[in-house]
Amino acid sequence: MTLWWIGDIVLLVVVVPIVVYLLRGVLSAAESIVPTVDEIASVARAGSQDLDAAPLLLTTRDQVEQTVAGVANYGGSLDVILDDAEEEGE
Amino acid sequence: MLVVGLVAPAVVLIATVVLIVLALVYYLVSTIVALRRVAAGLDQVIDGVGEIVAKSAPVNEIVVAINQQLDAGVDLLEGLLVQKAGLSDAVGLIDGVYPGAAAAGLRNFPDSTEVEPPRIGEVYTKGTLTLARLGREAPVAAASPAGGEVLRNVEGGSLAARQLYPSVRHTSPEKLPRSPVIGTDAPVQYEERDDVGAPRKRLPAGGP
């Protein structure tokens, strides 16, 4: 009978607080993840919006191609109308 | 009395077990709810990251193409400059337009880093150097090694040049003076002077 009481007391005083402590730790850890995940989601959305201008790179590429083509034509004309530099030592 | 003595610890035991079970239910259910919110947030993260991946997929290819075009342009201009001006003058010209840039040298001419840039003002005329410096007036020159502000205002450059002249057309007046009308139908007729074409007057003889 005495041992039974001792077992009950141990269960109430030791086991129950330990169980509650561990479960609260798990719950607090799980809840602390939620705001972090929400922030990551907002950052991912913002990053996706930042890339909305990425298709403009196609325009940039076309402009660069046209510019380089113009420079090449200009250089070709200059190559014709300007004499080459004299070789050093001549 | 004995029965009561036996039942009391059992009741306490059962109550304790029920208490533990209730605590388990409460905290585990709360944990499940929190983990479901985490899962929902991660779904949003995955959607956002998926969009990022999809949007950035062609970027590398396009940037590589742009770099290839720009590399070709640089090769062309460097080659043309060295071919026409010679390596030494080319380095001097670059250093004259962008002071200090000669230290970096030309990309396709490794020997250019060893060339001491000549003072280009002593080699070329002022007009040639002015033409070369026109490049610094481009907006892209704002990032030139020479630093400083862009010399030419692209949007207002034309107006600034027109304001050098006395014309008022650049002020966009509502009404400009009409051009004069000439001819037989002109509202103002200018009669020919009588003395035009007539014999010149002769001074009286014996005068002073």
Task: Give the closest residue to B35 by CA, choosing from A26, A39, A25.
Answer: A26
Which pLDDT tens digit goes with each residue over B169-184? 667 777 877 777 777 7
Range of the domain at A37: 2-79
Q: How far is A56 from chain B (nearest CA, A)?
A: 10
Residue A34 within a domain: yes
Quick one: pLDDT band at residue B1, thresholds 50, 70, 90? low
Which pLDDT tens digit goes with each residue over B71-91? 999 999 899 988 888 888 888
The complex scores an ipTM of: 0.70
Task: Decide if B35 touches A, using CB distance below 8 A.
Answer: yes
Q: How far apart are CA B191 and CA B187, in angstroms?
A: 12
From chain B residues 137-156, the ones with a CB under 8 A of any chain A CB are none
Partners of residue A67 in chain B, C-beta under 8 Å: 73
Verify whether the Cβ–Cβ distance A68 to B69 is below 8 Å.
Answer: yes
Q: How far is A13 from chain B (nearest CA, A)?
A: 10
Stretch (H or E) spanning B60: helix B59-85
Specify the number of domains making up chain A. 1
Residue A90 within a domain: no
Partners of residue B49 in chain A, C-beta under 8 Å: 44
pLDDT score recorded for residue B166: 66
Q: Where are the beta strands (DSSP E) in chain B?
A: none
Decide: B96 and B136 in contact? Cβ < 8 Å.
no
Task: Decide if B64 touches A, using CB distance below 8 A.
Answer: no
**Positive or negative: CA dihedral B195, B197, B203, B205:** negative
Q: How far apart are CA B101 and CA B135, in angstroms?
A: 14
Decide: B65 and A59 in contact? Cβ < 8 Å.
no
Q: How far apart are CA B139 and CA B135, in angstroms?
A: 9
Q: How far apart are CA B143 and CA B135, in angstroms?
A: 12
Which pLDDT tens digit goes with each residue over A58-78? 999 999 999 999 988 888 888
Which pLDDT tens digit goes with each residue over A3-56? 888 988 998 899 999 999 999 999 999 999 999 999 999 999 898 888 888 889
Residue A87 within a domain: no
